[in-house]
């Protein structure tokens, strides 16, 4: 049995809004092993993103964690102080989000933005930091890294910016990468390339991947295990094939039926493209 890298127990999160207390996450339990791809699937509003952000307490000001543990390598992140969390965020646990242009700063080059984490967590600067950035750009299979390093986000395609985001997330060689709907804004061809790239990087670098999605065809393509979330709870857990072949919860069956209906699951042929260098 593989070592558990992260173990979340009885996580409950509420939001305070206009004098009301709104439950968002209601007793979530999940764990992810070293070198595992865990897919957290469910419809929008089910609590997937809130659960992921709560792990390192990156929640908005009106959110409150009312119970739970998030044990990461023996440390309860929900009880850690701010300094301890800063040392973990970006270095040990990194995040990727959908629509990378919303998170990339338009006034800085992509090289400057990738190097920020390198300078902060690895104490590299100048030529050493630039060399590290170039290595990362090559790692995420960006063509002409010597040119791209000095480009701004608006000069690059959505697929290129998502690769930049991956490079930023992996800059400090995290043990856990949390990817929250990172391919939603991409067309299916680029989506397939990004998914293949993430799986390949995970195999080569040895990090664990928590992948959040509403798209069950992605789960079937990349997951070792799948958790289905519904109304703030984990309602089903199974291996990749078992979740599709023998779904138990009614919501899981609804999600599978919906994607069969629009042709997104089938034999996965929509995702049979190979990784290519992004132009």
Question: Would you place residue 271 in the very low, low, confident or very high pLDDT band (cuts 50, 70, 90)?
Answer: very low
What is the average pLDDT across 93-120?
89
Whole-number percent of the chain with pLDDT over 90: 70
55-100 pLDDT per residue, tens: 999 999 999 999 999 999 889 999 999 999 998 998 999 999 877 7
Sequence ranges of the domains in the chain: 1-92+176-279, 102-173
Q: How many CA atoms lie within 13 A of 209 on its CB side?
A: 31
Q: How many CA atoms lie within 13 A of 27 on its CB side?
A: 2
161-184 pLDDT per residue, tens: 999 999 999 998 999 999 999 888
Task: Give residues with Cβ within 8 angstroms of 20, minimum separation 6.
Answer: none
Q: In what order do the strands lie in the sheet with 63-72?
A: 20-33, 4-17, 63-72, 75-76
Question: Would you place residue 262 in the very low, low, confident or very high pLDDT band (cuts 50, 70, 90)?
Answer: low
Return mean pLDDT, the chain: 89
**Considering the domain 1-92+176-279, what is its CATH architecture?**
3-Layer(aba) Sandwich (3.40)
65 or 271: which leads in pLDDT? 65
**What is the rounded CA–CA span in Å between residue 222 and residue 225?**
9
pLDDT value of position 256: 86
Question: Would you place residue 257 in the very low, low, confident or very high pLDDT band (cuts 50, 70, 90)?
Answer: confident
Judged against a pLDDT cut of 80, whether residue 5 lies above it is answered with: yes
Judged against a pLDDT cut of 60, whether residue 237 lies above it is answered with: yes
Judged against a pLDDT cut of 90, whether residue 103 lies above it is answered with: no
25-40 pLDDT per residue, tens: 999 999 999 999 999 9
Classify each residue of 153-180 as buried b or exposed e, where b means 16 or more C-beta atoms within 10 Å of its C-beta: beebebbbbbbbbbbbbbbbebbbbbbb
Q: Counting beta carbons within 10 angstroms of the beta carbon of residue 102, is it exposed (0 to 12), middle (13 to 18) or buried (19 or more)?
A: exposed
Question: Would you place residue 264 in the very low, low, confident or very high pLDDT band (cuts 50, 70, 90)?
Answer: very low
Judged against a pLDDT cut of 70, whether residue 270 lies above it is answered with: no
Judged against a pLDDT cut of 70, whether residue 1 lies above it is answered with: no
pLDDT value of position 155: 95
pLDDT value of position 278: 43
pLDDT value of position 266: 42
178-194 pLDDT per residue, tens: 999 988 878 888 889 99
pTM of the predicted model, to two decimals? Answer: 0.89
């Amino acid at each position: 049995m593989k070592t558990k890298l992260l173990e979340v127990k009885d996580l409950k999160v509420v939001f305070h809004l206009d004098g009301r207390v709104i439950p968002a996450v209601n007793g979530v339990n999940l764990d992810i092993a070293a070198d595992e791809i865990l897919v957290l699937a469910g419809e929008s509003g089910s609590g997937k993103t809130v659960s992921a952000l709560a792990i390192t307490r990156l929640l908005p000001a009106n959110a409150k964690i009312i119970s739970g543990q998030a044990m990461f390598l023996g440390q309860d992140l929900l009880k850690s102080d701010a300094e301890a969390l800063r040392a973990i965020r970006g270095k040990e646990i990194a995040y990727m989000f959908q629509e990378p242009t919303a998170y990339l700063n338009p006034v800085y080059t992509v090289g400057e933005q990738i190097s920020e984490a390198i300078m902060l967590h690895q104490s590299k600067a100048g030529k050493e930091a630039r060399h590290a950035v170039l290595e990362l750009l090559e790692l995420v299979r960006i063509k002409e890294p010597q040119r791209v390093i000095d480009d701004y986000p608006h000069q690059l395609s959505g697929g290129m910016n998502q690769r930049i985001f991956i490079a930023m997330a992996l800059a400090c060689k995290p043990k856990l990468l949390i990817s929250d709907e990172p391919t939603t804004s991409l067309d299916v061809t680029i989506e397939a390339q990004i998914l293949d790239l993430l799986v390949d990087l995970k195999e080569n670098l040895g990090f664990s991947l928590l992948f959040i999605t509403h798209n069950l065809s992605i789960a079937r393509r990349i997951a070792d295990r799948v958790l289905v979330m519904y109304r703030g709870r984990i309602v089903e857990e199974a291996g990749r094939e078992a979740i599709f072949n023998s779904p138990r919860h009614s919501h899981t069956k609804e999600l599978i039926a919906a994607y069969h209906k629009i042709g997104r699951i089938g034999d996965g042929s929509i995702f049979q493209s190979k990784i290519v260098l992004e132009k």
